[in-house]
Amino acid sequence: MLPTPQRFTLVAGSAEGDTQLTAFDKALLVAGVGNLNLIRVSSILPPGTEFSQQVDIPPGSLTPIAYGTIGSEVPGRLISAAIGVGVISGSFGVIMEFAGICTKAEAEERIEKMVREALAIRNAHPERIMIKATEHVVEKVGCSFAGVVLWY
């Protein structure tokens, strides 16, 4: 079992590339996590985890992250990704991710609803809700990415 993360950071970025993979890689770099080895996790924020504005992790580190991403090769298409965290007072939290063909504002609205629903089914109310999102108009091959980095 891995140790329980002690910090979390919301990140988001969008970029263009020549391929879906390079667009994704560039979006990760814009988000500030492109030099990490990401381990995709599901949607629970550990109890007592502290929010940090920036990720301060050595390159190459194995890094848990919940994320949503979308790529497109349709020029002119607007794509967005959003991440949301709902923190329960004195307890754990929930993380919701979304990516789709929509505006950043629409993605943020969907994420807030998802966070509130996830908390409601746990009979919990948020102490706070945090959301980060990005949008991108595709030129050739584009990617939007948003995630919650869980770190130590």
Active site amino acids: 37, 42-43, 97
**3-state secondary structure at position 53:** coil
d(C-alpha 107, C-alpha 96), whole Å: 11
d(C-alpha 41, C-alpha 145), whole Å: 15
